[in-house]
Structure 1
Amino acid sequence: MTATAPAVTIRPTNLWQQSWIMVKRNLIHTKRMPEMLADVTFQPVMFVLLFAFVFGSAVTMPAGSNYREFLLPGIMGQTIAFTGFIVANGVTSDLDKGIIDRFRSLPIRQSSVIVGRAIAALLHSSIGIVVMAVTGLLIGWRIRTSVPEALLAFALVLLFGFAMIWFGLWVGSTFKTVEAVNGFMFTTLFPITFLSNAFVPTAGMPTWLRTIAEWNPISALVQAMRVLWGNGPAAPATAPWPLQHPALATIIWSVALTAIIAPFALRAYYKRTTD
């Protein structure tokens, strides 16, 4: 008589459990290839050290302002903006390798793949925020406000990162290759992050360029961190509304970007995975 294989019991799971499995899948992927953390470890530290010690001496700051404290929120804003880059590369790679097709054959909600990717990307970028905070403490950066204000600043960083995840999902679902994603993201995210108040004050920019920089969502996020951490300088009285109320502006920008981009991202993703 031939042995009968035991019956496999499939235990029903909800969306959260399925999403958490996807998160663990992405974290295991990172653990097996630790070089994937280079963009949130070595790269931000390199930017901090280069700007603080090489370019910082050439930046004119208002009296009483510390460039290193001015810089850290800018680097953090740039790093969280590149969360979209991480998601775009991951989605494109999974689609190209056929992993998503395998997931579609499983008895799980397809939205769990998106949720799991989003949470993993936020965790990935949070590592960079922690690394930069430690690096900043070593070079003289300090949080000079209360604990609730400090935590609110970190929460705003993650909220803006959530909006950038949808941008990354849209790019990753639209472009067919990782090379195309890299080219598009570099040519969009680098100008957006540098055309802001992240690295230099906007006061010295030409009027038309200063206007663009001051209405840049990155500028609102960075200014919110500076205000909530006491890293100044405060926005001048002539600054536009987003810099006068940066925390509220960051929330509005994050919600608006998510509301605008998410439908296009979901449409592109489901179209790509059902073709």
Structure 2
Amino acid sequence: MNAQANAAEEGIGARLYWAAADCWTIVLRGLTHYVRQPSNIAWQLGFPIVSVLLFGYVFGSAMSVPGGGDYREFLMPGMFGMTMAMGFMNTAYAVAHDSTRGVTDRFLSMPMAPSAVVTGRGVGDLVGASLDLVVLGLTALAVGWRSSGGPFDTLAAFALLLLLRFALIWVGVLFGLLVPNEEAAGNLFAVAFPFAMISSAFVAPSLMPDWLGAIARWNPVSSTVTACRQLFGNPAAVGDTWIERHATLMAVVWPIVMTAVFLPLAVRRFQRLSR
């Protein structure tokens, strides 16, 4: 019995080792693409940087923050959140690209852990999202944004942003495996844009029509953005609803729920491709 138990433990340990090793191989593949095609990063960051300049300088003088405060300080955490939220579209496009070009089929034919392609994509995209936040943060500092929170609170805010991105990665992987081609993946912009915009990223929900404000308050992006504003010490314009008063809690709960739902679905969808 002991010999069988030891063999079983060794078998589990070996599977975990190769799952981690195969995952890291996929991560390195994705990072190599970033190095060889840096224009991809510039393209991904182009829209949020232009949005910062547009809303911060062109429309900023016409914007108001309930309770007072500088609009640009209110805006920047929203831009961080919007960038993380819309990132799942890039994930979906990359997954659809690999599927269309036959890369996914080659992975399926290799002796590798079935979860490695999905988890490797997730870890690699999280590294890319971290680089996006660094560049966007430097842009924010250049336009005068500052965090009034302490070092711990500031790091916690960026951690919440990456947690949201981590959860949405699995949404992107699942959609990328479901769509038939790259063109269809590009059409996911029609989903990503309202998901990011109908939130508290640019305007406080209290300034929206009641029905739209209710949607914005319960948007996971709003919880993360509001929590980040509070941690950064920026104007937050927090309302009196439960979801707004518990923004930090929900900024953790929403990503956990989304990961618990979409990660198993993404892995299962990938495994079905080999049948």
* TM value normalised by structure 2: 0.90
2:139 pairs with 1:135: yes
4+ aligned runs moved over 4 Å, structure 1: none
In structure 2, what is the equivalent of residue 228 of structure 1?
A: 231
Task: Report SS of the residue matched to 1:176.
Answer: coil
1:50 to 46, 54, 60: 54
In structure 1, what is the equivalent of residue 197 of structure 2?
A: 194
Segments of structure 2 that go 5 or more residues without pairing to the other structure are 1-14
Task: Tell me the distance in 2 between the aligned counterparts of 1:33 and 1:207.
Answer: 45
In structure 2, what is the equivalent of residue 40 of structure 1?
A: 44
Q: 1:214 Cα shift?
A: 0.8
In structure 2, what is the equivalent of residue 241 of structure 1?
A: 242
CA-atom RMSD, angstroms? 1.8
2:265 pairs with 1:264: yes
Task: Tell me the distance in 2 between the aligned counterparts of 1:105 and 1:269.
Answer: 13
Percent of aligned pairs sharing the same letter: 38
Q: How does 1:128-207 map to 2 (within 5 A)?
A: 128-183=132-187, 185-207=188-210
Task: Tell me the distance in 1 between the aligned counterparts of 2:73 and 2:182.
Answer: 35
Task: Tell me the distance in 1 between the aligned counterparts of 2:141 and 2:74.
Answer: 13
In structure 2, what is the equivalent of residue 120 of structure 1?
A: 124
Q: 1:204 Cα shift?
A: 1.6
Contact 1:145 1:230 in 2 (8 A): yes
In structure 2, what is the equivalent of residue 73 of structure 1?
A: 77
Bigger shift: residues 101-110 or 42-51: 101-110
Task: Tell me the distance in 2 between the aligned counterparts of 1:233 and 1:162.
Answer: 24
CA deviations on 1:115-143 (whole Å, 9 max, x unpaired) are 11111111112112111111111111111
Q: 1:63 Cα shift?
A: 5.1
Task: Tell me the distance in 2 between the aligned counterparts of 1:61 and 1:252.
Answer: 27
Task: Tell me the distance in 2 between the aligned counterparts of 1:46 and 1:249.
Answer: 29
Q: 1:166 Cα shift?
A: 0.9
Q: 1:35 Cα shift?
A: 1.7
Task: Tell me the distance in 1 between the aligned counterparts of 2:125 and 2:216.
Answer: 27
What letter corresponds to residue 32 of structure 1 in structure 2? R
* TM value normalised by structure 1: 0.90
Contact 1:40 1:127 in 2 (8 A): no
Task: Report SS of the residue matched to 2:66.
Answer: coil
Contact 1:220 1:246 in 2 (8 A): yes
What letter corresponds to residue 164 of structure 2 in structure 1? F
Task: Report SS of the residue matched to 1:82.
Answer: helix
In structure 1, what is the equivalent of residue 5 of structure 2?
A: none
What letter corresponds to residue 245 of structure 2 in structure 1? Q
Q: 1:46 Cα shift?
A: 1.1
Bigger shift: residues 106-115 or 205-214: 106-115
CA deviations on 1:187-208 (whole Å, 9 max, x unpaired) are 1110111111101122221111
Contact 1:70 1:231 in 2 (8 A): yes
Segments of structure 1 that go 5 or more residues without pairing to the other structure are 1-11
2:24 pairs with 1:24: no
2:88 pairs with 1:93: no
Count how many residue pairs are aligned between Structure 1 and Structure 2. 261
Task: Tell me the distance in 1 between the aligned counterparts of 2:254 and 2:43.
Answer: 25
